[in-house]
Chain A
Amino acid sequence: MLKRLINLFLLLPMACIDPYEVTVPDGQQLLTVEGLIHTGPGPHAITLTRSDTYGSVFEGLIRPVTGATVVVRDDEGRITFLAEGQDSRGSYFTPVGFQAEIGKSYTLQIQTADERVYTSLPERVESVPEIEDIGVKTVTIPVEGEIIPRSGVQLISEINDPADQNNFYFWRLSPVVHVLEARPDLFTDREFRTSAPKDCCSVCYRTESTGNQSLFIAQDDNFNGLNTRIPAAFIEDNGLRFVNTLRVDLKQYAISQEAFRFLRLVKQQAEISGSIFDPPPATIRGNMISLDNPDEVVLGYFMAAGESTRRIYISKADLTFQQNAGIIPDDCRTVSGASVNPPFDWNP
């Protein structure tokens, strides 16, 4: 009893984090550039948006910047025009066949519809070591008030870091393809709420973009010249992705020191927790400048990088902890991105 009483004291949720209403200044509509061109096959995308007041979409909507002229220029003066996507307004794509070349420097030049001209500082493309192998580690994340933790798979890039250069790494994931298992036999007719089993289909292949929960970057200060393993990506287990087999391409980029510093600040902000250890808010300065008005703030960063990629098939057996399998009581083809045919190169 006494112990229970004392536990009660301790268990009081002493600290808490909750949303808080504040009045933030009206946001400026600053041009924001996000883009990466690399040595891998294209098309590579440059996305232009405008910042707005901080807060939800009701406070300010981040809008795409459409109708701009976007070119990439290399240090030999060669110019490549990027075309705005039909379905993705504000995103501009390199033409088929464009690949950045190692050792060259590139600048991004933009002329917006209102005739303002912007340029990036030159970014040099560095060579990137191959991904020797991809390790898989199951990660669990305890969730306050839940018995079952969140979980997922961490991909670990095994690399031979070159000893003779200072390397800065950045990783991204291709869209994943995974076997999707459904239960069409459990389908119920919504209108009549009666069981109406379907014959097809219980197994599909679903393609989806999982994004990356956080940014994965590294610099070789403490592993220069070593054969090392670095956590490079995380795919969350949503109860569907890992029921059978999942395929993903891990893309490894060699970015510049300045780009690394930029991404580190982005990561720092994305991972802020409000704790006493949090660094104070930092201005995230990019590499874009306005040619019309040097005092105009342009946000974001244009990167040019060497790329290496490696594919991995992750089977259910590779995981040491799994979420309870989600049940889809319907034809698996009704799930977006799902199809009964595997991709042509599906080869687990």
Chain B
Amino acid sequence: MNRIILLLIFLIGQGAWAQTTAPTKREVIGRDIGQLKGIKISGRIIDAISGEALIGATVTVPELDVTKITDNNGSFELILDRAEYTIQFRYVGYETIDYPITAVGDGRMSIRMLQEDFQLDDVVIFGRDPEKNIRSTDMGAINLNMNTIRELPPFLGEIDIVRSLATLPGVSQVGEASSGLNVRGGGVDQNLIQFAGAPIYNPSHMFGLFTAFNADVVNDVTLYKAVVPARFGGRSSAILDILPKAGSVDKWGGDLMLSNYSGKLSLNGPLIKDKVSILGGFRLSYINWFLNSLSNPTVKNSQANFYDGNLVISAPVSENNEFTYSYYTSYDDFAFASDTTISWKNTAHSLQWKSKLSSRLSLEALGYYSLYDYGIFNQSGINDFEIKSGIQDLGGKLFLGYNFNETNKIFFGGEFKQVKIQPGELVPTGAEQEILPQKVQDELGQEAGIHFQHEFELGEKFGFSYGIRYDTYRYLGPRTVRQYEETKPVSDGSAISETAFGEGEPIQTYNGLGPRASFRYSFSKSSSVKLGYNKMYQFIHLISNTATIAPTDVWKLSDNFLEPQIADQYSLGFYNNFKGNIFETSLEVYYKDLQNVVEYKDGATLIMQNHLETELIPAEGQAYGVELYVKKNLGRLTGWVSYTYSRTLRRVITPFEEENINNGEWYASNFDKPHDLTLIGNYKVSTNTSISATFAYNTGRPVTFPEAKFDYSGNNLAYFNSRNQQRIPDFHRLDFSVNFKLKGKGLFFDGDWTFSVLNVYGRKNPFSIFFDDAENAPPQALRLAILGVPLPSLSYSIKF
């Protein structure tokens, strides 16, 4: 059908289309001014249908044995002599184009490649470049293209970016309803999640049941879990970089998806033909509508709403300059049969300018503003109130790259951001004044970083990348800061005085030098070994005593009590591809040392707490693991096996014995799950039908069991002493999905029906085991299972 569309476009007559597929006649490129050498031919490769840039496509000049890879913009550049060539353009999942040219002068090519899905029996789940895992010096950079993610069984009817990442080695989630990711033993707050360059604090809907990013507007997802390029900083474990798609500059199109939980629509097309494109996406859940139509009072009184929306305006104003504006928002509110509603909302704006200043020097400048607002609203009729909290980030980044040649590049730049946190403001909303308005002091911090990185290769065998990042952070007034007696644990009782800092007055400053280095040795074209080291600083902390990101959490900047989190990571990896990259394997080992991780005193009060230092204790952490990964990229059956053995431990030793946790011994962190296995398979039954299945197994996470029961005020209470000494039962779950492609049912529709079942054999995987003395039952252990039954979902999606 794509062909039919193409044919139509051909008939309408667009000159540019002559370049789409291989021309029969050799084409002369450039203006002939008699140039013989150093002819520069640049170009851009896009999808012929959607107009999206094809990132990582290969451009080969067989006559010169030169291969180039297209950049994030789909652009490439060749330096040729005056001669005839047959340039080959290849991209996974697309028809290869052999393009005969005669290069006579500097010029430009515009290549449109066609997906070969209508004739493809095989599924291809390469990332950008089939040999990248072997050749690049990147370590632990996982790039998932949307095609890969689409082959996984959908979660509740939808493709889920965050969950897809959790199927990879070294990446896990706390449980079935939890936001965020735990990367190599780090907490959920140790990942910087950025959408189009702007930080996002809560990446989920409905407490993690859904990811708050609409997969239809996402182009590319990269997770850096080991050696993070020096351009990224501010979080100590990992960076999740999500880039939105750009709209097409020449035709309108879109995606529509309807599932039994939510619907989404995205549209894109030229705002100004060939100059400015726009892409808009919106996703809405209709769960609430159903809840309200039910008679069960518990359900009827509940509400759950969410939506998210995107807007991307992209203007390639000239050959070498492109401006992109991105807007992202997501919203949730939730009330479960009660008078209390909780809600949260992310908003992010970013404006990016990408420029090729010369053939060697490129520049990216980005400014962003992001806002995360969340609140708790009590409308019980007595002492009604709302607690509002928020985080506001305003920042800019500058990133330059200079190519000495293809294998010798430097990158440098700087970054600045200001973070303002409103930890909580309680506003009485009742008719009578029965409670006092209350406000926890706002926090203000400034972070600046400069970075430099050098990547080069020595011959085919050796690759090096080293970089350095210098971060400086200031914690600023206005703020009243307490001093405490040094001989006693920090508590309300040991406060001795207070100092008031004026507006903009620095209260505390921290600096950090973060080296990054990796080294690659290639045994052959298909196997290599890499070694890496990484140091990262983090000046913001998620203060939560639940195991996941929730709107009841507080984010806190580093201050004179809470020092920045620091992570040192050492990693070693072996990479081997077999059978012409059909199989990709890797074995990675890492050790991570964490400083100043936050732990909590027993029964800490975190909400509306003006003196969080009285509730927190700094902990040391260490994490180590082995990650095994085998992936089959091509064939009717594709998929991967990923297995991780890892530990993530914490230790709390303070000058005061009574504050030590577990007597100062190492203990398992809340998300320590030693064995973690994922099997994913996708089988192409026929041209139009595929099935996929995911099986996941991991060790149950740690839990604290009571050491005794005792009686107080008529309750049988549990006496807990040592933290995290037992584990909940192991987790395992099988998910399954079938996908049918509808073909030819209407000229402009190309639909997919996906039926999936989550938790096929209905295992009641515990999210938690807790101890309760409920009425009419003995004190006992109870299991909370979030997905206790097989959960089917059905979705229909069309592309137009």
Contact = CB atoms under 8 A, between A and B. Distances in A.
Interface of A: 3, 6-7, 9-22, 24-25, 27-30, 32, 34, 47, 49, 51-57, 60, 62, 137, 142-145, 147, 149, 156, 211-213, 215, 221-224, 226-231, 261, 263-266, 268-270, 272-285, 297, 299-301
A277 B780 CA distance: 20
Contacts of B787: 14-15
Given A223-B436, A229-B434, A284-B717, A27 B709 contact: yes
5 contacts: A9-B792, A32-B711, A142-B301, A274-B772, A278-B768
A144 B298 CA distance: 6
Contact of B707 (A27, A56, A261): A27
Contacts of B642: none
Contact of B718 (A49, A145, A269): A269
Contacts of A230: 383
Given A9-B260, A10-B260, A276 B769 contact: no
B783 A211 contact: no
Interface string B745-774: 000000000000000000010111111110
B140 to A, nearest CB: 29
Given A52-B708, A142-B301, A268-B603, A20 B766 contact: yes
Q: Point out which of A60, A147, A222, A228 has the most chain B C-beta atoms below 10 A from its C-beta.
A: A222
A211 B714 contact: yes
Interface stretch (B275-283, B516-524, B544-552, B631-639): B544-552
B720 interface: yes
Contacts of A301: 712
Contacts of B480: none
Contact of A51 (B337, B608, B709, B793): B709
B43 interface: no
B580 interface: no
B783 A51 contact: no
B720 A282 contact: yes
Q: Point out which of B603, B706, B789 has the most chain A C-beta atoms below 10 A from its C-beta.
A: B603
A60 B718 CA distance: 12
B440 to A, nearest CB: 11
A301 B290 CA distance: 48
A279 B779 contact: no
Contacts of B792: 9
Q: Point out which of A212, A215, A280, A300 has the most chain B C-beta atoms below 10 A from its C-beta.
A: A280
B719 A20 contact: no
A34 B707 contact: no
Q: Point out which of A7, A14, A19, A143 has the most chain B C-beta atoms below 10 A from its C-beta.
A: A14
Contacts of B781: 19-22, 24, 55
B207 A276 contact: yes
A219 to B, nearest CB: 10
Given A6-B260, A281-B706, A276 B550 contact: yes
Contacts of A281: 704, 706, 718, 720, 723, 770-771
Contacts of B714: 211-212
B719 A299 contact: yes
Q: Point out which of A17, A137, A270 has the most chain B C-beta atoms below 10 A from its C-beta.
A: A17
A265 B602 contact: yes
A51 B764 contact: no
Contacts of B293: 3, 7
Contacts of A145: 296
Contacts of A12: 789, 791
Nearest to B658: A285
Q: Point out which of A9, A27, A54, A55 has the most chain B C-beta atoms below 10 A from its C-beta.
A: A54
A210 to B, nearest CB: 11
Contacts of A275: 784
A51 B726 CA distance: 21
B773 A22 contact: no
Closest 5 CB pairs of A and B: A56-B778, A27-B708, A20-B783, A274-B784, A51-B708
Interface in B698-751: 704-721, 723, 726
B359 interface: no
Contact of A261 (B603, B704, B791): B603
Interface residues of B, number: 87
B779 A55 contact: yes
Contact of B782 (A20, A24, A224, A228): A20
B791 A51 contact: no
Nearest to B780: A19
B260 A14 contact: no
Given A55-B778, A222-B435, A49 B720 contact: no
Contacts, number: 251
Contacts of B552: 277
Contacts of B719: 27, 30, 51, 54, 283-284, 297, 299
Nearest to A261: B603
B433 interface: yes
Nearest to A220: B436
Given A13-B789, A52-B709, A223-B434, A143 B783 contact: no
B294 interface: yes
Contacts of A15: 784-788
Contact of A226 (B381, B434, B550, B604): B434
Interface in B584-606: 600, 602-605
B670 interface: yes
Contacts of A24: 705-707, 781
Contacts of B18: none
Given A34-B712, A55-B780, A266-B712, 17 more contacts: A20-B769, A27-B706, A51-B708, A51-B719, A54-B706, A143-B298, A222-B385, A229-B382, A229-B434, A230-B383, A270-B715, A274-B768, A276-B178, A276-B548, A279-B546, A282-B603, A300-B710
Contact of A30 (B434, B548, B710, B769): B710
B435 A223 contact: yes
Given A7-B294, A276-B547, A299 B438 contact: no
A27 B718 CA distance: 10
Contact of B710 (A6, A19, A299): A299
Contacts of A222: 385, 426, 435-436, 438, 608
A55 B709 contact: yes
A192 to B, nearest CB: 33
B709 A142 contact: no
Given A30-B708, A55-B709, A62 B716 contact: yes
Q: Point out which of B287, B552, B710, B788 has the most chain A C-beta atoms below 10 A from its C-beta.
A: B710
B119 to A, nearest CB: 35
A269 B324 CA distance: 51
Contacts of A19: 777, 780-783
Nearest to B299: A11
Contact of B778 (A34, A57, A231): A57
Given A54-B709, A228-B434, A268-B603, A279 B545 contact: yes
A222 B424 CA distance: 13
Contacts of A228: 383, 434-435
B780 A56 contact: yes
B770 A278 contact: yes
Contacts of B784: 15-17, 274-275
A276 B546 CA distance: 6
B727 to A, nearest CB: 10
B297 interface: yes
